[in-house]
Structure 1
Amino acid sequence: MTSEEKKVILASSAGTIFEWYDFYLYGSLAAIIGAQFFTSFPEATRNVFALLAFAAGFIVRPFGALVFGAMGDLIGRKYTFLATILIMGFSTFLVGLLPGYASWGVAAPIILIVLRMAQGLALGGEYGGAAVYVAEHAPANQRGYFTSFIQTTATLGLLLSLVVILLVQGYVNGNWEPTPVLDAAGAAVLNADGTPKMIKAFDLWGWRIPFLGSIFLLAISLYIRLQMNESPAFKKMKEEGAQSKAPLKEAFGTWKNGKIALIALLGLTAGQAVVWYSGQFYALFFIQNVIKVDSFSANVFVAWSLILGTGGFIFFGSLSDRIGRKPIILGGCLLAAITYFPVFHALTKTANPALYAAQQTPVVVTTDLSTCSFQFNPTGTAKFTSPCDIAKATLAKSSVNYTTVAGTPSSGAEIKIGDTVIPSYDAAALSGTDLTTAKSTFEKAVAEALKAAGYPLTAESNLTVAKANHFFDIFTGQKLAIVVILTYLILLVTMVYGPIAAMLVELFPTRIRYSGLSLPYHIGNGWFGGLLPATAFAISAQSGNIYAGLWYAIIVAACTVVIGTIFVPNGTHKKDIFAD
């Protein structure tokens, strides 16, 4: 690389890393933030709603792609970069200032989702500009290698957010004592084993610090962006008067270009997206909320896998300059579809052997199936009060694999754990003291039966679950095995994501390139990928199998392999991107 080429990549990548850092802070802290902003909702759906607030930033990303993509094709890449970083930076800073539900009521979660949407709009315009800017500076035979540095920014932004969280979490929790959790009446909330439920200082207020600190990253990013020059390809096109006067209409209003966007979405980015989010975000969510590894340890393991696997972006980007983009991207999707089930099984067995062993005990819910609801409650308005819903929600909280069979028990539903049968209760038919007593009796009976079956009910009583005491505490067989499994998932991410920027740039002509590639990329990653954690969690909770949610990623990845094999063109790495 020449010094000018290095400057282009550094300027584009550094600003984009900070923008991804801002965006992914929420994803890394989704469960903690959910407890602060969604306390009025049923506990069984709090994680789903928190993840949907995370996904709100993804849902609007395609709209950001349309707005800023058109801006980038009309007025240039540099000024679009400045607009996106300002919106992202201030939205992130305001999340750190926003009072919780206890202070502002329902306004708090609504404002939170609005700020997430603003972040999504900004990111919708960011990626396409960075990919186009670098590709238009790169030598023809090194576009995959040059743009692969942009591909590292998402992972490096996530890694930066995890490192900052770990440092702040360690400092805050090390210097402030945990606080008892109180219910609406001011009484202490108890765990299933009768001990007081405590909330750590970081979970209570320390999580705000990484958001507030983003204002300093915004200042650095603005400085970097102001040093950038406009893309030479854009300047040349502007001087020649060859700009598109209506880039959105030209990119998507004709079948000639519209079909390219459709092929890019279904044959490339949809599969790439589900592999990307399964390997990083859903893996982190799965470790914390399903396998029951504490959040600090989970972040340590994922951070190490990112450190070890991130070089794969550069490797596969460079490899795609020699053998093409298509076989690498589709190969990663195929490997993911084939291996996800055994890999996530191995992750559970390695990280929490006691939980994995306990899941071999048959657990059956017998009930009138017509009384069972689909326990996906994004608005928090549904009331899960039937005996069936109560039984299934109680088991889901303990990561129990169970089956549901038709029957008509006198209680409406009953749970059989090993040889123990526990009748459920109908919350809609009870109130006051009767409801409190029924709930307490039921939860205690379930907890005792699960404990007898080997289920670890609290982290303190489970000596087999993996735990890292500090960032470098990974050098045991169990912890290294977890890092290896997670690194494999990251390498699949690098296969599908490393070459994708160059591939998308090569599919679209220069005059509509920013708009053309941004929309399919952000529909794929914003909708197919961003909604994956919430969708997978809901599927698993409904089916009674903690692995069932993986079917979403597997089916989408497999469809992309088929569609991409048939319709995505070969040999784009040899294309002259300035000839059209």
Structure 2
Amino acid sequence: MASIGLRTAAVRPGEQRRVILAASLGTVFEWYDFYLYGSLAIFFGALFFPPGNETAAFLASLATFGAGFAVRPFGALVFGRLGDIVGRKHAFLLTILVMGVSTAAVGLLPTYDQIGLWAPALLMLLRLAQGLALGGEYGGAATYVAEHAPAGRRGLHTSWIQTTATLGFFLSLAVIYVCRQVIGDEDFKVWGWRIPFLASVALLAISTYIRLQLKESPLFTELQAQGRTSRNPLTESFARWKNLKGVLIALLGATAGQGVVWYTGQFYALFFMQNTLKMDYEAAYPLIAFTLLMSTPLFLFFGWLSDKVGRKPIMIAGCLLCAATCIPIFQSLTHAANPALARALAISPVTLIGGGTCTTFYMTAPETPCDMARDYLSRAGIGYRVEPGDALEIRIGSRSLAGFNEEELEHALAEAGYPAVADPKQIDRPAVVALLSLLMLYVAMVYGPIAAFLVELFPTRIRYTSMSLPYHLGNGWFGGFLPFIAFALVVQTGDLYYGLWYPIVVAVFTVAVSLIAIRETKDRDLAR
């Protein structure tokens, strides 16, 4: 095995830089493809799902967004097995082809008005294909870079891969923003939304060319030359307790918490600003995009720092800080981005008396007056309390309304100072950027070191398979469904910040498991 370690150390600096650039650039394009849907989810409810209930359509849109994450672990198994048997390069060359083709196909899909229920069915199918591809991409790129990196610099080298998700998200926002500005908002909603998806064809060509120039990982090449590659990495990874234990520890003690912190700080922040605070995209997109771009170096910093002090303490600190402060941060975001809404919520709180007529949860058109009121208030981004009672009464401050009448409720809310949209002139942009940057600091703390940690946790012969599964379970399941779960909790309770308890609980649980079960990995030898 010593020869494997010597082969890794002998990789020239110039070659290391090319490896990082090639793997990272291709991965940026994959994340761009995957996150286009998330960036446009606010439109897809109306485009691809049955009309009649905007809240249910938006939840269905978020569920479809989450479905792409749900299958990521299966992509990790399929492509991870391929990468551990035939090589890292071949596996993540295939993933980018699947991702590019399925993303471009979304841009060609007919809408619900054109083909009915076939529209959401085909959209779901393509989201599943995207999820499968991404499930194989990340593990291959991280493993490939780490196996070229010198000892003592794996955190820094793999942190370049960690920037790609944020840069891909940034790229998707930038392309959408430019398209909306050039085409116009109305035309973009009708047909212009297709352009960012179809642009994936050009990105696919560039990414494929880049990946074709790569050579195989030196560690895998040496292992292959010795005839020691795994014949069944799935069995070795998950049917043997020693390796399965590592997978479970990685999931529950690292990637679950990392996933919810990441999606709270980036995607849920965007959903909250647009759907709850009613910020126009012309205000929300530049603020998010600017923060993403300015915060990207933090991933490199914490990757570098993890080479010095270890991966574990940085990731634990990020989870704890997010759990302790995310609710105050989102409350402050309300005051900074939509101060009129914050004042109205404080001066004239909304109470629904008659909770006995509310259903436990709904994904169909609301039928009872209580559900109609909840649906309307949720779409308007207005928090409320629900109290028991037999007949619906809506209190707005000191004013009381009997039953549900949309026009009457809309008029009463306007008189109480509730804004229909956030006033761009009242947005405190420096405060919004500062709050989003604080969330991004936590994201960088948990995400910057995670690739190096996962690579170091498993042996070379099953590394691709073993590290990919917990990563995509943590990010795909715990993180990917966060927007759906959080928004559903808000609809159910009426509390605009109640959905944040989901990432808080997961992050605290992850810290507890990490403290008990995880040992530091930064000094481990990859040649094993």
TM class by smaller structure: over 0.9
Report the CA distance shift for 1:368/1:277 in structure 2 as closer, same or farther (over 3 A).
Answer: closer
1:374 and 2:352 matched: no
The residue number in structure 1 matching 2:396 is: 417
CA distance 1:368–1:501, change in 2 (3 Å): closer
Structure 1 unaligned segments of length 5 or more: list them: 179-199, 426-441, 467-477
Q: Distance in 2 between matches of 1:158 and 1:490?
A: 13
CA positional deviation for 1:463: 6.2
Partners of 1:322 and 1:112 lie apart in 2 by 45
Matched residues in 2 for 1:465 and 1:37: separation? 34
Q: In the alignment, which residue of structure 2 is the partner of 1:575?
A: 524
Structure 2 residue aligned with 1:473: none
- Find the aligned partners of 1:355 and 1:148 in 2 and give their Cα distance: 39
Listed as ranges, the matches of 1:400-415 within 5 Å are 400-408=382-390, 412-415=391-394
In 2, Cα distance between the equivalents of 1:419 and 1:84?
58
Give, in whole Å, the separation in 2 of the partners of 1:354 and 1:375. 29
Aligned to 2:176: 165
CA contact (8 A) 2:52 2:365 kept: no
* Cα deviation code 1:29-83 (max 9, x no counterpart): 1111221111435112121111111111100000000000000000101111111
- Which residue of 2 is the match for residue 188 of structure 1? none
- Please say which of residues 358-367 and 5-14 is displaced more in the overlay: 358-367
Q: Which of 152, 155, 174 pairs up with 1:144? A: 155
The amino acid that maps onto 1:339 is: T
Matching residue of 1:59: 70
Q: What is the aligned counterpart of 2:264 among 265, 278, 281?
A: 278
Partner of 2:248: 262
Tell me by how many angstroms 1:376 deviates: 4.6
Identical aligned pairs, as a percentage?
A: 54
The answer as to 2:392 corresponding to 1:392 is no
Question: Are 1:455 and 2:418 counterparts?
Answer: yes
Q: Could you tell me how far 1:222 is from its partner in structure 2?
A: 0.5
Q: CA deviation at 1:464?
A: 5.2
Q: Supply the distance in 1 between the matched residues of 2:402 and 2:210 (Cα, whole angstroms).
A: 63
Matching of residue 348 in structure 1 with residue 334 in structure 2: yes
> How many correspondences in the alignment?
516
CA root-mean-square deviation: 1.2
- Contact 1:352 / 1:464 at 8 angstroms: preserved in 2? no
8 Å Cα contact 1:30-1:50 kept in structure 2: yes
Deviation at 1:457, TM superposition (A): 2.0
**Equivalent of 2:310, from 316, 324, 337?**
324
Are 2:80 and 2:139, in contact at CA under 8 Å, matched by a contact in 1? yes
Once the two structures are superposed, the pairs formed by residues 197-346 of structure 1 within 5 Å of their partners are 200-346=186-332
Residue number in structure 2 paired with 1:559 = 509
Distance 1:457 1:284 in 2: 18
Quickly say closer, same or farther: Cα 1:39–1:375, change in 2 above 3 A.
Answer: same
Partner of 1:364, secondary structure, is: strand
The superposition leaves residues 83-138 of structure 1 with CA deviations (integer Å, 9 ceiling, x where unpaired) of: 10110000000000111111111101110010000000000000000010000000
**Residues 60, 526 of structure 1: 8 Å contact kept:** yes
Please give the alpha-carbon distance, in whole angstroms, between the structure 2 residues aligned to 1:41 and 1:55. 22
Q: Shift of residue 295 of structure 1? A: 1.7
* Distance across 1 between alignment mates of 2:374 and 2:109: 34
Structure (1 or 2) with the greater helix fraction? 2
Which of 427, 430, 433 aligns to 1:483? It is: 433
Contact 1:353 1:464 in 2 (8 A): no
Secondary structure, in 3 states, of the residue corresponding to 2:149?
A: coil
Structure 1 distance, partners of 2:55, 2:155, is 44
Give the aligned partner of residue 186 of structure 1: none
- Match 1:86 to one of 97, 100, 106: 97
Give, as a single letter, the amino acid of the residue that structure 1 aligns with 2:232. Answer: A
Cα distance between partner residues in 2 of 1:167 and 1:526: 29
What is the alpha-carbon distance in structure 2 between the residues aligned to residue 113 and residue 287 of structure 1? 26
Q: Which amino acid aligns with 1:451?
A: A
User: Residues of 1 paired with 2:498 and 2:425: CA distance?
Assistant: 24
Partner of 2:31: 20
**CA-CA distance at 1:413 after TM superposition:** 1.1
8 Å contact from structure 2 (residues 283, 424) kept in 1: no
Q: Tell me the amino acid that sits aligned with residue 49 of structure 1.
A: A
Residue 5 of structure 2: aligned partner: none
* Superposition TM-score, scaled by structure 2 size: 0.96
Cα distance change of structure 1 residues 493 and 163 upon mapping to structure 2, 3 Å threshold: same
Q: Determine the C-alpha separation between the residues in 2 that align with 1:260 and 1:519.
A: 11
Q: Give 1:375 shift.
A: 3.4
Corresponding letter in the other structure for 1:212: L
| Alpha-carbon distance between aligned partners in 2 of 1:88 and 1:312, rounded to the nearest angstrom | 28
Matches for 1:31-42 after TM superposition, within 5 Å = 31-42=42-53
Query: Within 1, Cα distance between the matches of 2:244 and 2:362?
Result: 34
Q: Where does residue 138 of structure 2 map in the other structure? A: 127
Q: What amino acid does structure 2 have at the position aligned with 1:119?
A: Q
CA deviations over 1:414-441 (Å, ceiling 9, x no partner): 211122222225xxxxxxxxxxxxxxxx
Classify the secondary structure of the residue corresponding to 1:359.
helix
1:550 matched to 2:500? The reply is: yes
8 Å Cα contact 2:358/2:368 also seen in 1: yes
Gap change, CA 1:486 and 1:376, over 3 Å in 2:
farther
**Residues 372-431 of structure 1: CA distance to partner in whole angstroms, max 9, x if unpaired?**
123352xxxx342012211221222222221111112xxx31211122222225xxxxxx
Q: Distance in 1 between matches of 2:22 and 2:513?
A: 36
Aligned to 2:60: 49
Tell me the CA shift for residue 261 of structure 1: 0.3
Residue 376 and residue 257 in structure 1: after superposition, are their counterparts in 2 closer, same or farther (change >3 A)?
farther
Q: Does 1:72 align with 2:83?
A: yes
Mapped partners of 2:308, 2:398: distance in 1: 61
Partner of 1:192: none
Give secondary structure in 1 for the equivalent of 2:446: helix
Query: Contact 1:45–1:375 (CA<8 Å) still a contact in 2?
Result: no
Q: Which residue of 2 aligns with 1:359?
A: 345
Asked if 2 retains the 8 angstrom alpha-carbon contact of 1:354 and 1:464, the reply is no
Question: Quick one: which of 511, 521, 531 aligns to 2:471?
Answer: 521
Distance 2:37 2:76 in 1: 21
The question of whether the paired residues in 1 share the 8 Å contact of 2:46 and 2:54 is answered with no
Q: Which amino acid aligns with 1:343?
A: I
CA–CA separation in structure 2 for the residues paired with 1:226 and 1:376: 49
Amino acid at match of 2:436: L
Q: Which residue of 2 aligns with 1:190?
A: none
Please report how far the alpha carbon of residue 518 of structure 1 lies from its aligned counterpart in structure 2 after TM superposition.
0.4
Partner of 2:9: none
SS state of the match for residue 202, structure 1? helix
Match of residue 446, structure 1, among 409, 432, 437: 409
